[in-house]
Amino acid sequence: DSGVTQTPKHLITATGQRVTLRCSPRSGDLSVYWYQQSLDQGLQFLIQYYNGEERAKGNILERFSAQQFPDLHSELNLSSLELGDSALYFCASTQQGLARETQYFGPGTRLLVL
């Protein structure tokens, strides 16, 4: 158990819909990262937040957005969902958001878009 929690574990929805994935980092960690794992694209970095502020952006689509709240939990919002958005979405956390730190991953949210 990494200490990072993600809800829900599974999500099934239809094309065109909007969903919100939630992540709680390890106790004391200020930085949160979101990743997408799909068969087509592999594991891709989406976005990083540090203490409520966006710090780095990866291959995140404009239909996707994220935020980190004062209690440090983070939410990833996916809208206008397409079949290709079906994937495993991971959240990871580190204490300071530094490159040398190990990123601890949550168990993931499996999204299926029908």
Partner 1 sequence: AQTVTQSQPEMSVQEAETVTLSCTYDTSESDYYLFWYKQPPSRQMILVIRQEAYKQQNATENRFSVNFQKAAKSFSLKISDSQLGDAAMYFCAYRRKGADGLTFGKGTHLIIQP
| Dihedral sign computed on CA atoms, order 83, 60, 39, 75 | negative
Cα separation of 46 and 65, whole Å?
9
- Show the binding pattern over residues 46-75: x = contacts partner 1 (CB under 8 A), - = does not: xxx-x----xx-x-----------------
Minimum CB–partner distance for residue 104 and partner 1 (Å): 8
Of 38, 44, 67, 79, the residue at the interface with partner 1 (CB under 8 A) is 44
Q: Which is nearer to partner 1, 59 or 80 (CB)?
A: 59
Cα separation of 29 and 1, whole Å?
15
Residue 55 neighbours by CB under 8 Å, 6+ apart:
31, 48, 49, 97
Q: Is 2 in the site for partner 1 (CB under 8 A)?
A: yes
Tokens representing residue 81 in the block: 């969902």
Residue ranges in contact with partner 1 by CB under 8 A = 2, 33, 35, 42-48, 50, 55-56, 58, 88, 90, 92, 97, 99-100, 102-105, 107-108, 110
